[in-house]
Amino acid sequence: MKSFKYQTVLLRLLALIFTIGVNGQSFTKSKKHRIPVGNTTTIEVISSYTNLEFEQTEGNEIVIEAVMQIDGLSQKEAEKYFKKWKVVADHKNDKVVLSSLLNDATNTNWQRHSYYEGYFLDETQLTAISDEIGTHKNAKSTGEQKNASNTQNTGKFDQEAYINEGDAYLLKWQKENNEKIGRRWFNKTREERIAMLKGVKAAKSDLPSKGSKSSKEERSDIAHRIQQEARSGKNRLPSANVRPLKKRTVIKKTLKIGVPKKLGLSINMKHGKLVLHNQISDIRAELKHALLEAETISGSKTRIKGIFSNFEIGHWQAGKLDVAFSGFALIKRADQLSVTSNSSVVSVDAVTKSIDASGNFKMLNIEASSSITYAKIDVVDSKKVWVKLPDAPYNLYYRGTDSRLIHPEKYSLKTGRNRSEKILENAPLKNKERYVDIKALASVMQIYDIPWEDLKIKNLEDL
């Protein structure tokens, strides 16, 4: 029987667990709450600057544990701050809406302004960014932004200026060229900036020339390199969610939520880390400036959208993934995956059944297993695309316009209706039980069916 009882639960986070570090400046406080639910209940979680951890459980109740870790405040200040954090659960009919709030003007200001593109900032950096945002808005309102994108997007990166000026130069370059610079270049000391540039030069010197028979960057290193970046502290979101600029206080808020398996789960998250333990089914999530770590994601109704967000997923069983400006989306194994990208890095180590990949990719890496049914790939303006063909009979279709394809010697490209169109067709299977269908526009791609280390060409940048 459906429950139409309206219940509003305000979890005022009183300290049930309260520990003090040796220096008297570290505190951990937590509060648990349980919400009985029915078989048809759905839960929506709305959070900002709060880490989330989900685990599917047996039973008929949602278990919420709110944990706050505080470093750098006195006991009195920590107690006062903790009381300002409210977790609100609105339970109406068959829906529970859970939200994390900090209803204090000062604290809200910390949250809004001390965090930018995944980094906590000094006051000088904050001022520079605020000025840049203000200039950007004014340019947009007067039409100057459009002109700037048409005339200034050819600027070269001045390494000396970056070494001497740091973040100020990065912000200036972004503004003048209307283009983003990776987060890993920000918040570096002068010595770190020099080391970063040396690393780039070393990487370039290691790249193979056309036709070279060996390379320091082996095939497995493509995914490995991204994984290393994903796991490095420089590219991860910081563990802290809130930090006042002057005191250098670090405050980490985490909601640990146990959700019954039968419940529908929806998440709207900005700035934080999302962890999905065990197997989560039919999840719907919208993420901004977040990091998602998941063991197993399943369910054909799964829909995950991420903007400026990164992903580390062990096993993707089914569903759709939509990423925009993602530094990395790493999937070890995908059974049935539909992925759409806008200027993102996507790597799938093994596709066992099917994959639909479309959009603009900064980099795309797909390895098709012998058990695959089909792979549909449609890329636009993607200059680094690698596709490992299945180790089993398959039909292959390729149609590229203004694109470059590197392929096994046993295949040959034909010119289409115009000289800019190239076509490849090889269909030994009459029933199309296994096929790879590729469309490319203004892209560079390599398809291969031999070990990576045996390839003559591995670098696609100069093609």
CB neighbour list of residue 255: distance below 8 Å, 6 or more residues apart:
45, 47, 50, 51, 52, 53, 64, 65, 66, 67, 87, 98, 100
Which pTM was predicted?
Answer: 0.68
Q: Number of H helices and number of E strands within the chain? A: 8, 25
C-alpha 54/C-alpha 257 separation (Å) is 5
Q: What is Dmax (Cα atoms) for the chain?
A: 76
Between CA 382 and CA 404 the distance in angstroms is: 11
Q: Could you tell me the two tokens for 359?
A: 């959009």
- Which range has the worst mean pLDDT, 39-43, 327-331, 333-337, 398-402? 39-43
Least confident interval from 78-92, 336-350, 422-436:
78-92
pLDDT of residue 147: 40
Domains annotated for the chain, with CATH where assigned, are 1-118+246-298 (2.160.20), 119-231 (no CATH), 311-463 (no CATH)
**Top-ranked range on mean pLDDT: pick from 89-103, 133-147, 175-189, 303-317:** 303-317
- pLDDT at residue 156 is higher than 80: no
Examine the pLDDT at 108 and tell me if it is beyond 70: no
357's tokens: 């990949």
Is residue 35 within 8 A of residue 96, CB to CB? The reply is yes
Q: Which of 36-50, 146-160, 271-285, 310-324 has the lowest mean pLDDT?
A: 146-160
- At residue 410's C-alpha, the angle toward residues 408 and 414, to 5°, is 90
Report percent pLDDT > 70 for the chain.
70
Q: Is the pLDDT at 60 greater than 60, yes or no?
A: yes
Question: Which of 351, 366, 319 shows the shortest CA–CA distance to 338?
Answer: 319
Calculate helix-pair angle for 144-151, 123-142, nearest 10 degrees. Answer: 100
Q: Is the confidence at residue 37, as pLDDT, over 80?
A: yes
The answer to whether residues 95 and 44 touch, using CB atoms and an 8 Å cutoff, is yes
Mean pLDDT for all residues in the chain: 76
pLDDT tens-place string over residues 417-452: 888 899 999 999 988 889 999 999 999 999 999 888
On whether the CB atoms of residues 445 and 405 are closer than 8 A, the answer is yes
Please give the pLDDT value at position 248.
56
Q: Between the ranges 109-118, 120-129, 393-402, where is the mean pLDDT highest?
A: 393-402
Q: At what angle do helices 123-142 and 167-177 cross, to 10 degrees?
A: 10
Q: Which of 101-110, 127-136, 191-200 has the highest mean pLDDT?
A: 191-200
Hey, what's the torsion of the CAs at 394, 395, 396, 397, to 10 degrees?
-160
Dihedral sign, Cα of residue 122, residue 124, residue 127, residue 131: negative
Task: Specify the pLDDT at position 3.
Answer: 39
Give residue-wise pLDDT tens across range 201-259.
Answer: 443 333 333 333 333 344 445 555 555 444 444 344 444 444 443 445 677 889 999 99
Cβ 255 vs Cβ 241: under 8 Å? no
More confident residue, 128 or 97: 97
Task: Give 11's contacts (C-beta < 8 A, 6+ positions apart).
Answer: 31, 33, 64, 66, 86, 87, 88, 89
Contact 449, 391 (CB under 8 A): yes
Length in residues, the chain: 463
Task: Report whether pLDDT(416) > 70.
Answer: yes
Is pLDDT of 89 > 90?
A: no
